[in-house]
Structure 1
Amino acid sequence: MPHPHHFILLRHFRRHYTTTSSSSSSVVSSINWVRDRALDHAVEKERDLKPMITLKNLIISQPSKTLPLSIIQDNKTSLNLPIRPIDFIRKYPSVFNEFFPSGISTIHPHVKLTDEIVSLDAEERVLFDTDVQKLDVANRLLKLLMIGRVNRIPLSVIDKLKWDLGLPNDYVQSVVPCFPDYFQVNGNDLELVCWSSDLAVSVMEIKGLSSFPVGYSRGFEVDKKFKKWVDDWQKLPYVSPYENLLSLEGKSGESDKWVVGLLHEVLHLLVPKKTEKDNLLVLGEYLGVRSRFKKALLEHPGIFYVSSKLHTHTVVLREAYKRDLLVTKPRHPVMTLRFSYLHLMNMVKEKNKSKKVDVVVAKKEKAKQDSNEGEVEGEGEGEEFSETESEEEIDDSDFEDVSDSDSDIEHVDNEKTPTKKTNFEDHENKNRNIRGRTSRSVKFHDSPRRNTPNSRSSENDGRRRGREKTRKNRFDEKTDSRNNQMSNDRGTRERNSPKSRSSRTESPSRKAHGRSSERPSVARTREGRF
């Protein structure tokens, strides 16, 4: 039962904040929900971790430490494999080995574990056998039993949270009997034996906080109405989640803050500080606050984030994460072990990625070396590729891996190229370098002949002849334009001369006589003037 001073304090605050809870529905309806990419990644990066460990435990439990693929196929639903078993096994070759046993005629392969995963499994077993880890598991179970003063929780509800609580699979046999003064199994329930006042202290009380840490996703718009409602709600008194306030009114702000504190403490008990929404609702249903858990998740996006990744809804405690990493220091040993599993699962991808990076770096160095040699050897205008490079085989993927930063070595000499260029010449000039430098942006043509390794020499010859022809055409065009300009100037001077003006007034008969008949007439006109 709650302490009497809680009722006195809550009765005092109920007078001032009755309007706060009544307007919460209208405030929440105006919330613009925003996706948090970092927290989504924190959920998504553990996509296959739990199915992998479940399958690993099944293989370890076999006497031969191997398992036929047909049995894995039959237990696909219980293993919760996201894809076909054979595809899941081949997806992680650093964890599983596929083989055909000798002396057995079968079409189905068998599966065994690699040495690295067997070593991690041995570390996991040693961890859960230590007294420190068993005490940590017992304290988590005890705090879960004391939350809300329920004092009894079905084992089926605890099994829903077993993975997130960091419990071993056999916690009923390996942990519960070691702490008879904490709890005991009574039928299908785990029952509290002795209340511990030292453990019945919430994280908020340890930190000395009365208002919850709040943070929002990038792009989340907090209007004045919503901010005022949150500030007023944060001023309500904080009641420990280890008290039972179910007798209070369900619509009061104080009761809502107690439910938020209850949910906040449960998430802090979990090792990854997150779990599926259905697991929390199952626990809330047993505690009698299922609908109020839903309301708390809806009204407080600054405290809880609900991710929709992995085809489910996962509740994440915001204050426990910075971007996609846990900020809890020191890190829990169970999470350290799980990160080792994740690193092993992604080891093949990291090796392939590192090999790809090495190939790209080697190609860059080779290209730079070839370009330097081309600057020394290719002094002629038409020598764009060296002989050794023209005989190399080219692949499209080689050029796709090269970064865009190499494009700054490409250059086109505008002074030596013609001003009028066809589309084909524009295309060729963009994809070439001058003075022996090789181009990293080579594009292959549809013609199979141009895709052959030895086609560069023929392309160079064609380009050289094309440049000579364009230079010659340019010179001819300049010569023709100069001659035309000179002829135009000559014609203009002749038209403006006195002879041309006098000839315009002559009759057509005189024009027919030609130049010889024009001279006497000019002489007679001159004599007439004098």
Structure 2
Amino acid sequence: MSVNGTIHLHALRLLRTELGLPENFRESIIIKYDEVFGMVDLEVVELIDRNDKDGSFGVAKVESWRKKEYTEKWLSEFEVKYAFPIHFPTGFKIEPGSREKLKNWQRLPYVKPYERELTYHLNAQTTETMEPSSRCYELMSRSAVGKRTFGGVERYEKRAVAIIHEVLSLTVEKSVPVERLAHFKKDLGIVVNIRELLLKHPGIFYISTKGTAEIVFLREAYSKGCLIEPNPIYDLRRNMLDLLLLGNRHTSELKTEREVKDEPKDMTDDENGWESREGDFVIPILGSFTDHEDNDNMN
């Protein structure tokens, strides 16, 4: 997706957890598979072979949704070729005239993230075609003519939407801290304000403001707060989180052997020896379920 086939390692490090990469991914993946990746310098990695021979390498995730809409819902190619799945939040009110603007935006052609030949429409009469290079970024930055027309700035913004959509689709939980996306702007040729772009498309992206960091989620990937198509890494992380939360809930109840011996016994005798009072373990268990439900609601 990058404009010249390279990307800075510091940007990948910032998204290492989100992308499911190991801590030593530079050595264990990039350097190990030198037939695929090459180090331009200490902090820049490039893709050596960028030729997509079988046509499957550079297919964006959204294309599978478009194919499904075209084949299963019998929608015209004109309607779905450049469209994105839109899921507005509950209670969202569409302003008068916005529905028609959205329909036009969905139909608007744009340069897709993995396209090898980039054509930028600077105005209605002029086009410029080039191979991906650093000149693409320069061209988009100085395209004041195109930014005065719907076909100018909207095409650039839609390409940026497509790139961010694809980046989110590649992550484990289909979410990324907003501020970390800014580190990919130059490599991916994004020249617009990312946060403003995300807020401009609430039907595609959702920004969570809980906690200290803003996190953007891909709306289509979630239903009722849960990932629709979980992956093995996501399932493992959820299971580990459940175990950690379970341990935290019962930490206050765990005591050392010395503390147990020193405490006065609050039990009653029965024919087999000691028996705990009925209900001693009921309240903690119910409390753990309550905490779990609260956490799920926050998510």
Whether TM-score is above 0.5 comes out as yes
Provide the residue aligned with 2:240 in structure 1.
341
Provide the residue aligned with 2:160 in structure 1.
259
Contact between 2:178 and 2:195, CA under 8 Å: does it hold in 1?
Answer: no
Q: Deviations over 1:343-370 (max 9, x none)?
A: 1111146668x7317689xxxxxxxxxx
Q: Deviations over 1:331-387 (max 9, x none)?
A: 3222122112101111146668x7317689xxxxxxxxxxxxxxxxxxxxxxxxxxx
* TM-score between both structures, scaled by the size of structure 1: 0.37
Q: Distance in 1 between matches of 2:285 and 2:15?
A: 44
Secondary structure of the equivalent of 2:211?
helix
> Pick from 62, 68, 71: which aligns with 1:204?
62
Segments of structure 2 that go 5 or more residues without pairing to the other structure are: 68-79, 121-135, 254-280, 288-299
Provide the residue aligned with 1:230 in structure 2.
102
Q: Is 1:169 aligned to residue 27 of structure 2?
A: no
> Pick from 204, 212, 215: which aligns with 1:311?
212
Provide the residue aligned with 2:197 in structure 1.
296
Superposed displacement of residue 291, structure 1: 2.5
Q: Distance in 2 between matches of 1:234 and 1:161?
A: 29
Provide the residue aligned with 2:85 in structure 1.
213
> Pick from 279, 283, 286: which aligns with 1:356?
283
> Pick from 13, 32, 45: which aligns with 1:159?
13
Q: Distance in 1 between matches of 2:226 and 2:113?
A: 27
Q: Distance in 1 between matches of 2:286 and 2:11?
A: 52
| Structure with higher RCO (Cα < 8 A, 6+ apart) | 2
Q: Is 1:195 aligned to residue 50 of structure 2?
A: yes
Q: Deviations over 1:20-64 (max 9, x none)?
A: xxxxxxxxxxxxxxxxxxxxxxxxxxxxxxxxxxxxxxxxxxxxx
* TM-score between both structures, scaled by the size of structure 2: 0.64
Contact between 2:110 and 2:156, CA under 8 Å: does it hold in 1?
Answer: no
Q: Deviations over 1:287-341 (max 9, x none)?
A: 342524334212101101111112111111100111211112xx32221221121
Contact between 2:173 and 2:234, CA under 8 Å: does it hold in 1?
Answer: yes
Q: 1:323 to 1:285 in 2, by over 3 A?
A: farther
Secondary structure of the equivalent of 2:84?
coil
Secondary structure of the equivalent of 1:310?
coil
Segments of structure 1 that go 5 or more residues without pairing to the other structure are: 1-146, 361-530
Q: 1:226 to 1:334 in 2, by over 3 A?
A: same
Q: Deviations over 1:52-94 (max 9, x none)?
A: xxxxxxxxxxxxxxxxxxxxxxxxxxxxxxxxxxxxxxxxxxx
Superposed displacement of residue 238, structure 1: 4.7
Provide the residue aligned with 1:482 in structure 2.
none
| Counterparts of residues 404-483 of structure 1 (less than 5 Å) | none
Q: Distance in 2 between matches of 1:357 and 1:340?
A: 21
- State the Cα RMSD in Å: 2.5
Contact between 1:276 and 1:312, CA under 8 Å: does it hold in 2?
Answer: yes
Please tell me the residue identity of whatever aligns with 2:57: L
Contact between 2:6 and 2:187, CA under 8 Å: does it hold in 1?
Answer: no
Q: Distance in 1 between matches of 2:286 and 2:60?
A: 54
Please tell me the residue identity of whatever aligns with 1:279: R
Contact between 1:303 and 1:317, CA under 8 Å: does it hold in 2?
Answer: yes
Provide the residue aligned with 1:279 in structure 2.
180
Contact between 1:214 and 1:319, CA under 8 Å: does it hold in 2?
Answer: yes
> Pick from 197, 201, 221: which aligns with 1:320?
221
Q: Distance in 2 between matches of 1:196 and 1:168?
A: 27
Q: 1:179 to 1:358 in 2, by over 3 A?
A: closer
Secondary structure of the equivalent of 2:101?
helix
Q: Distance in 1 between matches of 2:162 and 2:240?
A: 33
> Pick from 32, 35, 60: which aligns with 1:178?
32
Q: 1:235 to 1:172 in 2, by over 3 A?
A: same
Provide the residue aligned with 1:123 in structure 2.
none
Please tell me the residue identity of whatever aligns with 1:151: G
Contact between 1:271 and 1:335, CA under 8 Å: does it hold in 2?
Answer: yes
Percent identity over the alignment?
A: 29
Structure with the higher fraction of residues in strand conformation: 2
Structure with the higher fraction of residues in helix conformation: 1
Q: Distance in 2 between matches of 1:359 and 1:307?
A: 30
Q: Distance in 2 between matches of 1:238 and 1:323?
A: 31
Q: Distance in 2 between matches of 1:333 and 1:152?
A: 29
Rg comparison, structure with higher value: 1
Q: Distance in 2 between matches of 1:241 and 1:334?
A: 25
| Counterparts of residues 102-113 of structure 1 (less than 5 Å) | none
Aligned length: 212
Superposed displacement of residue 221, structure 1: 1.4
Q: 1:359 to 1:259 in 2, by over 3 A?
A: closer
Secondary structure of the equivalent of 2:39?
strand
Secondary structure of the equivalent of 2:184?
helix
Provide the residue aligned with 1:436 in structure 2.
none
Q: 1:355 to 1:239 in 2, by over 3 A?
A: farther
Q: Deviations over 1:459-512 (max 9, x none)?
A: xxxxxxxxxxxxxxxxxxxxxxxxxxxxxxxxxxxxxxxxxxxxxxxxxxxxxx
Please tell me the residue identity of whatever aligns with 2:231: H
